[in-house]
Amino acid sequence: MTEAEKKQLDEQGYVVLEGFIDAEWLRALRARVEELYELEGENAGHEFRPEPFARRLANLVDKGEVFEQVVSDPRLLVFVSHVLGGSLKLSSLNARSTNPHAPESQPLHCDMGVLPDDTGAKVCNSVWLLDDFTLENGATRVVPGSHLWGRLPAQSVRAPKAPHAGEVVLTAPAGSVILYNAHIWHGGTANSTARHRRALHAFYVRRDLPQQQWQAMCLRAETQKRMEPLMRYLLALDDPMNDKLCAEGSGQSGFLR
């Protein structure tokens, strides 16, 4: 990280990293994502939650080795570690594709609906752009600095789907990664184009929080077996405290809602 990136992440709550995904990797990610949408059909993303005007995929670490590179990229982990104070684990890896002509924005929200505590930030998210993010196709909007306000949008905003006076829509070319302190107020925007707007969301939490998707329960045995030490650490596969947290939070489904 550069000093400028640290400053922006600390003060504004986000950074945009252009050219992060090389062309070959981007092609592979796009191909596998579209293959999964085709294979899963109407059930795509059913493990987590459906969303009007968007296609979803969930539990992607279990659905292709190409996704393991996403969550373990050391260039990304430097940023995540900075946000979370060195205590991190993967919470979930999902895909979200805003439908063509999707008429509504997502409501402004903070991920998992949590606020930071005296220790610092609890959540950090990264958006991997499989398509260009433009003002017209559903790019992510953020309210810079709102991660420092100590309140949720639902506590302060009457119409969370409406434009916010302080918001910035983050536009960038495909292959970029947007990383943000996930206490920042954010949400996807409407897509007025005739094409899907696709992205991956690699979401991390501090190690004293439950995972959104309990990896030890969600991943098949054969997937877990091939994991190297770094991935086992990031997925908290050998962490009894994580198992306790997730059992209390998600129960037998393995998924927090």
Per-residue confidence in pLDDT tens, the chain, 257 aa: 999 999 999 999 999 999 999 999 999 999 999 999 999 998 998 888 788 899 999 999 999 999 999 999 999 999 999 999 999 999 999 999 999 999 999 999 999 999 999 999 999 999 999 999 999 999 999 999 999 999 999 989 999 999 999 999 999 999 999 999 999 999 999 999 999 999 999 999 999 999 999 999 999 999 999 999 999 999 999 999 999 999 987 765 676 65
CATH number for domain 3-253, candidates 1.10.8.60, 2.60.120.620, 3.90.950.10, 3.40.50.170: 2.60.120.620
What secondary structure letter does DSSP report for 153?
G
Sign of the dihedral defined by the CA atoms of residues 86, 92, 97, 102, in that order: negative
Structure tokens at 32: 């596998």
Predicted pLDDT of residue 37:
96
The 8-class DSSP code of residue 87 comes to -
- The residue to which tokens 């990664």 are assigned: 177
Task: Write out the two tokens for 33.
Answer: 């994502």
Amino acid 161: pLDDT: 94
pLDDT for 46: 86
Alpha-carbon torsion angle 32, 33, 39, 45, nearest 10: 140
Q: How many Å apart are CA 82 and CA 61, to the nearest integer?
A: 23
Angstrom CA distances, 4 to 8, 15, 64, 71, 140, stand at: 6, 10, 35, 24, 22
Copy the structure tokens of residue 18.
Answer: 């252009």
- Measuring CA to CA, how many Å separate 1 from each of 118, 170, 203? 24, 20, 19
Note the pLDDT of residue 253: 60
Q: Which of 83, 94, 75 is nearest to 20 (CA)?
A: 75
Q: At 121, is the secondary structure helix, strand, or coil? A: coil
Full-model pTM: 0.95
